[in-house]
């Protein structure tokens, strides 16, 4: 015998609930679209997935890229040739030192001398990378910057920051410089890039920092220096080497032809980050790679692969965005229709520490609201059947999934995926330790 099944009618209360959800879904979707359109440098840079223009150029992209975010741009024109999650906010590690240099490098002449005090070194985070500065020794400003660029020395950063009026003043000036450069994904907590909650940047912003810095001869000279003699006290010196493996060729990597800098970084939370610049046949390209896979050389290998792609396809690739000019030099808002004060205010807000940009949160929020609306309809239609299953001791799958998620969070404190990511990061070095 055939049994017909009728869907229970929706009650007035259910219809009112769905009516309340529908505007939320529509508004969130609209907000996501507006946020994408407001992205600095062009709306495509806020999209998920690889952004590249031109069939041949797209086909030539490296097949295995593990980075969570990357960008390839022409240094001279500012055209972004390809990108992946360019505005995703992630911990920058020592690549943030590029912004530090953009901010403080013009303040002191390179021949100026400073005798380091214990107070200059008192607030360096434990586990920092160090060049080996000692209290009581006099250094030139040039030597301090060599410590910053070659060894990623947090001790050199803090000495320069104290010379500049203190760490807090320097952080405020770096944040102001980021706003002027329209690097609105960046939130500065410390001048050295060390791991701190809310200290975030993006592949787009780091590329802006590199492009701006490379216009200055001193910045260009420091980031391209392979070795230097550094004071050890008592008239002695020791040699320091640049930790940029594409520049130095260390650890089994070959030097990249035409590389002119710029800055690498590593912490256990951020993983590896790198912005590199190279020149070939009169064209200079910038590549930023953030948080690739666990292999220690992955950040350099993927940077080299993207540089190779850029030099091979720069003529055929259609730009997917642009690196904007600083506001102080007449740079516009990226054609986004959003007021600059509003975007600057948003940039100054601490990040969530999730590694997701606000744009991506909005997109995901839109999907969640839509799913909630659809799920509400499904749940209401199935309510009678679900109640019947509960009465017979059969637990609905949605309830099981929710219970499982609650159990996992209560046992570990974080979702399993986040915990796994932490373990992987922990395998790369001590917590918060810079590796270069």
Between CA 178 and CA 194 the distance in angstroms is 17
Between CA 245 and CA 395 the distance in angstroms is 56
Evaluate whether 279 touches 257 at the Cβ level (below 8 Å). no
Among residues 129, 152, 268, 357, which one is catalytic? Answer: 152
Of 219, 211, 247, 233, the C-alpha closest to 146 is 219
Of 168, 222, 189, 165, the C-alpha closest to 93 is 189
Whether 216 is catalytic: no
Structure tokens at 308: 């190779």
Please name the residue that has the structure tokens 């007035």: 12
Whether 94 is catalytic: yes
Instruction: Give the count of beta carbons closer than 10 Å to the beta carbon of residue 257.
Output: 13
Ramachandran region, residue 397 (left: φ > 0; alpha: ψ -120 to 50; beta: rest): alpha
Among residues 94, 129, 190, 202, which one is catalytic? Answer: 94
Query: Residue 176: enclosing H or E segment and its boundaries?
Result: helix 167-180
Helix (H, G, I), strand (E, B) or coil at 260: strand
Please name the residue that has the structure tokens 């929706």: 10
Chain centre to alpha carbon of residue 267: 13
Between CA 324 and CA 101 the distance in angstroms is 19
Structure tokens at 113: 């001398």
Whether 152 is catalytic: yes
Between CA 143 and CA 148 the distance in angstroms is 9
Please name the residue that has the structure tokens 């209290």: 135
Which residues belong to the active site? Answer: 94, 97, 152
């Amino acid at each position: 015998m055939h049994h017909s099944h009728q869907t229970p009618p929706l009650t007035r209360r259910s219809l009112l609930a769905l009516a309340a959800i529908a505007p939320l879904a529509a508004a969130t979707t609209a907000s996501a679209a507006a946020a994408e359109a407001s992205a600095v440098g062009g709306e495509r840079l806020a999209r998920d997935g690889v952004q590249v223009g031109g069939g041949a150029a797209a086909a030539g992209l490296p097949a295995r890229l593990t980075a969570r975010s990357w960008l390839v741009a022409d240094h001279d024109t500012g055209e972004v040739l390809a990108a992946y999650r360019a505005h995703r906010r992630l911990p920058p590690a020592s690549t943030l030192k590029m912004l530090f240099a953009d901010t403080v490098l013009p303040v002191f002449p390179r021949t100026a001398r400073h005798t380091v005090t214990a107070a200059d070194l008192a607030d360096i985070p434990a586990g920092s990378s160090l060049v080996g500065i000692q209290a009581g020794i006099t250094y030139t400003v040039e030597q301090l910057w060599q410590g910053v660029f070659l060894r990623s020395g947090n001790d050199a950063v803090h000495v320069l920051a104290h010379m500049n009026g203190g760490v807090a003043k320097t952080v405020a000036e770096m944040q102001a410089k980021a706003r002027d450069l329209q690097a609105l994904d960046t939130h500065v907590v410390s001048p050295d890039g060390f791991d701190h909650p809310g200290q975030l940047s993006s592949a787009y912003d780091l590329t802006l920092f590199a492009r701006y810095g490379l216009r200055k001869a001193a910045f260009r000279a420091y980031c391209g220096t392979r070795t230097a003699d550094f004071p050890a006290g008592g008239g002695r010196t020791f040699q320091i080497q640049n930790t940029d493996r594409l520049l130095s060729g260390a650890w089994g990597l070959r030097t990249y032809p035409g590389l002119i800098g710029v800055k690498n970084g590593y912490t256990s939370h951020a993983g590896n980050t790198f912005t590199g610049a190279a020149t070939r046949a009169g064209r200079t390209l910038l590549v930023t790679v953030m948080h690739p896979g666990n292999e220690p050389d992955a950040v350099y290998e993927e940077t080299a692969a993207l540089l190779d792609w850029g030099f091979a396809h720069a003529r055929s690739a259609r730009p997917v965005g642009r690196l904007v000019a600083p506001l102080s030099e007449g740079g516009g808002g990226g054609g986004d229709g959003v007021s600059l004060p509003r975007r600057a205010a948003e940039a100054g807000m601490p990040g969530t520490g999730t590694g997701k940009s606000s744009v991506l949160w909005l997109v995901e929020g839109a999907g969640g609201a839509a799913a909630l609306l659809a799920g509400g309809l499904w749940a209401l239609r199935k309510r009678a059947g679900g109640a019947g299953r509960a009465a017979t001791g059969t637990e609905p799958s949605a309830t099981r999934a929710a219970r499982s998620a609650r159990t996992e969070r209560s046992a570990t404190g974080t979702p399993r995926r986040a915990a796994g990511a932490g373990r992987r990061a922990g395998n790369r070095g001590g917590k918060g330790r810079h590796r270069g």
